[in-house]
């Protein structure tokens, strides 16, 4: 029994010693590989028409290495107001939309827009984006069907 215990201790020590003598990882060579860029990289800004909701959106998008991140804001959206006649209040409209996606290789691509709303309601939409001239044209595929022309800013 003592011999077995001594044998296990020696084997364990040998295993841990061999694991610690591994060769170090190779050092990185020269210059790092640059991140791929997109011809649409930059800051984009613009305002949409009102669409069927008569509520224009102000867009701010950032495209970096082909990844899109941004928001749109409805300047006509209003928060809660006093309700003196105790009737049902109107449904709140989303005032802020978070936008994200990836630039397509063909010059047109789809973005996802998610509304910042409280409670259990979850509003999500898709935006069709195409490069036109020196700008971007953003169109809602549902909802209010607004269209915006964005310029690099």
- For the chain, what is the domain count? 1
Helix (H), strand (E), coil (C) string for 12-60: HHHHHHHHHCCCCCCCCCCCCCCCCCCCCCEEEEEEECCHHHCCCEEEE
Q: Which of 12-21, 104-113, 144-153 bottoms out in mean pLDDT, i.e. has the lowest?
A: 12-21
Give the phi and the psi of residue 5 in degrees, each rounded to 5: -65, -45
pLDDT in tens, 108-147: 999 999 987 666 677 888 999 999 988 999 999 888 899 9
**H or E stretch at 110:** strand 108-115
CA–CA distances in Å: residue 14 to residues 4, 7, 9: 15, 11, 9
Q: Which of 29-43, 84-98, 113-127 bottoms out in mean pLDDT, i.e. has the lowest?
A: 84-98
Task: Let me know if residue 81 belongs to a domain.
Answer: no
Task: Let me know if residue 8 belongs to a domain.
Answer: no
Domain containing 126: what range?
42-76+92-152
54 pLDDT above the threshold of 90: no
Task: Let me know if residue 22 belongs to a domain.
Answer: no
């Amino acid at each position: 029994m003592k011999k077995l215990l001594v044998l296990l201790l020696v084997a364990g020590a040998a295993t841990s010693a061999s694991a610690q003598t591994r060769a170090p990882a190779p050092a990185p060579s020269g210059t790092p590989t640059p991140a791929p860029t997109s011809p649409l990289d930059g800051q984009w800004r613009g305002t949409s028409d009102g669409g069927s909701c008569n509520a224009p959106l102000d867009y701010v998008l950032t495209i970096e290495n082909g990844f899109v991140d941004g928001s749109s804001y409805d300047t006509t959206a209003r928060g809660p107001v006093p309700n003196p006649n105790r009737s049902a209040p109107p449904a709140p409209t989303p005032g802020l939309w978070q936008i994200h996606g990836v630039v397509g290789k063909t010059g047109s691509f789809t973005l996802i827009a998610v509304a910042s709303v409280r409670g259990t309601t979850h509003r999500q939409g898709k935006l069709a984006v195409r490069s036109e001239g020196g700008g971007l044209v953003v169109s809602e595929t549902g909802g209010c069907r607004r269209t915006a022309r964005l310029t690099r800013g």
